[in-house]
Amino acid sequence: MMDIALPGWLLITATLLPLAAFVILVFWGKKMGDPFAGYLASTFIAVSFVCSLAAMILWVGRPDDSTWGFEKGPINSTFGWIPVGTWPGQRHPGFLDLGVYVDSLTVIMFNMVTLVSTLIFVFSIGYMREDKRFPRFFTYLSLFDFSMLGLVLGGTVLQLFIFWELVGLCSYLLIGFWYEKKSASNAAIKAFVTNRVGDFGFLIGFGILFYHLGNVTLPDMWIQLGAAGSGEAIRLGTGALFSSTLLTVMGIGLFFGAVGKSAQFPLHVWLPDAMEGPTPVSALIHAATMVAAGVYLVGRIFPVLTPDAKLFIAIIGCITLTMAALIAVVQSDIKKVLAYSTLSQLGYMILAMGVGSWVGGLFHLITHAFFKALLFLGSGSVIHAAHHEQELPQYGGLMRKIPITAVTFAIAVLAIAGFGIAGVGFAGYYSKDM
């Protein structure tokens, strides 16, 4: 049994709730029909958010001593799951280690993912109410959220890999949800194949890490490879020498996984086509799950990145930031404008990580999730009101017809623009200022 404090158990519960919704909908979703399948999935993810919020309150208010059963500092606990023989790095020799790792980033990510997902789930009940595969849609959404939360909570490098691939599978299922449309099925295949290219690099980096350290926990990885930040060679506990060149290759390899997931140059081509999925899927992918996973991964491996690896990351982020912003200017499809906007903002986060601003990059990831979700849900409202017309030149006079959408859209635009004066502004003002 793992020795986990209350915030850890709350986050485990928050992770398992979408999985429970997925299992229920797989077996009984058709019998429920719509809108009850949507009500069930939305309720489960809302309770997941409540658990995440409670964990954050406990985490922020935790005392310096163990009065509440846990002290300040990360929660890092593992248990031996199944016998696998002797692997390096195992805390339970002879067994496959699984565990959880909870720190401030984990808690914040959980609240961001579950809150944004709850709003998207509720929006989807109305948006998808006439779709003949309504229950299946919420089945996939629930699995998507479970995958992302599992990625954030996972305490070992093997769990990181498993949930990383599961996030990719869910994106394929949701982008191609309307598979009877040739464009949607092609977009899903394109996203899947492009991410496999990125995951080839990820596998190289993961293979180097796993070969030398085994299925270690994240803190153990940071400790053993801690000299990477200064570009030094490292002598591992086994006596083997881990050269700075190998560290750089490992870091860039792992980063290539993020290049695929977060649609960085040159693997950015799948994200605009992902707009072929339902609009709530676009909101979820661009705000809280798929593309966020790549930036989150860079944040987790940041302590073991060499200066050369960080320089490479910064260059890729800078290219993506500039290129995507220029492409967005000439788009006429409302969802593609937002898609390239996401690409540019992700490049901004990756650039921040590359130049050493860990806090700035992840802070912007959190703020971006909210105003980008608002932009996509607002675009869904506009598209719905315009009878599924997505070309911007065809719009006009919408503020009189959908004033609430107009106001919320304007707020999101000001936020992503970083509007503010003298220290008072929207969310993007603070995160971009860092």
Say whether pLDDT at 320 is over 50: yes
pLDDT exceeds cutoff 70 at 195: yes
What whole-number percentage of the chain has pLDDT above 70?
Answer: 88
| Interatomic CA distance for residues 37 and 45, integer angstroms | 13
Q: Which residue has the tokens 């158990």?
A: 9
Mean pLDDT (whole number) for 145-170: 91
Query: Taking residues 44-67, what's their average pLDDT?
Result: 82
Q: Is the peptide bond before 93 cis (omega within 30 degrees of 0)?
A: no
190 is written with which tokens?
């394109």
Question: If we measure between CA atoms, which residue out of 341, 273, 353 comes closest to residue 316?
Answer: 353
Average pLDDT over residues 34-63: 90
> Does the pLDDT value for residue 304 go beyond 80?
yes
Q: Quick one: average pLDDT of 366-389?
A: 88
Residue of 433 and 379 predicted with greater confidence: 379
Residue 65 has pLDDT above 60, yes or no: no
Contact status, residue 293 vs residue 148, Cβ threshold 8 Å: yes
pLDDT tier at 1, thresholds 50, 70, 90: very low
Residue with tokens 């404008």: 337
Q: What is the dihedral of CA 273, 276, 278, 283, to 10 degrees?
A: 20
Residue 349 has pLDDT above 60, yes or no: yes
Q: Residue 68: its pLDDT value, please?
A: 41
- Residue 315 pLDDT > 50: yes
User: Considering just the CA atoms, what is the radius of gyration of the chain in Å?
Assistant: 21
Mean pLDDT within 407-431: 85
Cβ neighbour number for residue 172 with a 10 Å cutoff: 18
Angle at 294 between CA 289 and CA 295, to 5 degrees: 95
**Helix, strand or coil for residue 102?**
strand
With CA atoms as reference, report the closest residue to 340 among 325, 351, 350. 325
Whether the per-residue pLDDT at 54 is higher than 60: the answer is yes
Average pLDDT, the chain: 86
- The answer to whether residue 38 scores a pLDDT higher than 50 is yes
Nearest residue to 202 (alpha-carbon basis) of 107, 335, 297: 297
3-state helix, strand, coil in the chain (%, to 5): 70, 10, 20
Q: What is the pLDDT of residue 83?
A: 62
| pLDDT at 89 (0 to 100) | 54
Tell me what pLDDT residue 69 has: 41
Say what percent of the chain tops pLDDT 90: 45
The answer, yes or no, to whether residue 228 has pLDDT greater than 70, is: no
Q: Is the pLDDT of residue 58 over 70?
A: yes
pLDDT tens, residue by residue, 80-97: 666 666 655 555 565 677
Residue 24 or 288, more confident: 24
Tokens at 160, concatenated: 């990181």
Question: Where residue 66 falls among pLDDT bands split at 50, 70, 90?
Answer: very low
